[in-house]
């Protein structure tokens, strides 16, 4: 297993694991960061910080089920984002000095809505949708964002989501996911 080899320090396994995890951590970071936040702190900084933390603590990771690694990474993203907010409040930065972010990513819409932005016109449309999607996701409550994150980004089964969110059955997780996606669609 790739994870076990990486935990034992196998360099090629570590490299391959990094390549596999990078896109997933980017999607998780995109879900967790809003467009306003991305102007203050680049998503790639969050991705890099999370992956550094993950690989420094990889030997401590305990593989409980298929989606556990992704959930562990999502928790790290959230913790790093929370730490950033605390540091920012403590430093009381001058927001006017920060340059707005240039370029658009379509990571979020590709992941959550299943779009493929391969042509220039699709990239332009996806960039606009990306902005709308970020705003809509941030308007959802935390539990709804979390179920979308677990299902769409971490690829958890409804059984795993039920366990993670404390539902007595997968049908409760499925219902929450359905309501969250409906709410998201209404906001779009």
| Residue-wise pLDDT tens digits, 43-86 | 778 888 888 998 888 888 887 776 788 888 888 888 888 887 77
- For residue 90, pLDDT over 70 is answered with no
Query: Which residues have C-beta within 8 Å of that of residue 93, sequence separation ≥ 6?
Result: 40
Q: pTM for the complete prediction?
A: 0.52
Tell me, what's the pLDDT at 22?
86
How confident is residue 171, by pLDDT bands cut at 50, 70 and 90? very high
Sign, CA torsion 22/142/35/104 = positive
Does residue 14 surpass a pLDDT of 70? Answer: yes
Question: How far apart are the C-alpha atoms of 178 and 36, rounded to whole Å?
Answer: 27
Question: What integer best gives the mean pLDDT of the chain?
Answer: 76
Locate 150 and state its tokens.
């677990």
8 A C-beta contact, residue 39 and residue 56: no
**Listed residue (1, 21, 31) closest to 150, CA to CA:** 31
Cβ-proximal residues to 5 (8 Å cutoff; 6+ apart), any chain: 13
Contact 26, 53 (CB under 8 A): no
The two three-digit tokens of residue 29, written as one number: 């970071």
User: Domains in the chain, start-ordered, CATH in brackets?
Assistant: 1-102 (1.10.1740.10)
Mean pLDDT of 101-112: 50
What confidence score (pLDDT) does residue 37 get?
47
DSSP string, 123-156: HHHHHHHHHHHHHHHHHS-HHHHHHHIIIIIS--
Q: Measured between alpha carbons, how far is 71 from 120 in angstroms, rounded to an integer?
A: 33
Q: Give the pLDDT mean for 158-171.
A: 90
Instruction: Express each pLDDT in 16-41 by its tens digit.
Output: 988 888 888 888 887 777 544 444 45
Q: What is the pLDDT of residue 24?
A: 84
């Amino acid at each position: 297993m790739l994870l076990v080899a990486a935990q034992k320090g196998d360099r090629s396994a570590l490299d391959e694991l990094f390549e596999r995890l990078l896109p997933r951590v980017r999607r998780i970071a995109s879900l967790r960061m809003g467009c306003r936040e991305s102007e203050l702190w680049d998503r790639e900084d969050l991705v890099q910080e999370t992956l550094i933390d993950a690989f420094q603590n990889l030997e401590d990771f305990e593989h409980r089920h298929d989606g556990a690694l992704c959930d562990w990474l999502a928790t790290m993203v959230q913790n790093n984002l929370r730490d950033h907010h605390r540091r920012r409040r403590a430093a009381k930065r001058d927001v006017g000095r920060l340059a707005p972010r240039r370029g658009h990513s379509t990571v979020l819409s590709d992941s959550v809505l299943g779009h493929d932005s391969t042509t220039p016109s699709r990239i332009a449309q996806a960039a606009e949708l990306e902005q709308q999607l970020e705003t809509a996701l941030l308007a959802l409550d935390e539990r709804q964002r979390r179920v979308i994150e677990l299902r769409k980004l971490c690829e958890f089964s409804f059984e795993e989501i039920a366990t993670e969110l404390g539902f007595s059955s997968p049908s409760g997780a499925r219902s929450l996911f359905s309501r969250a996606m409906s709410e998201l669609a209404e906001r779009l």
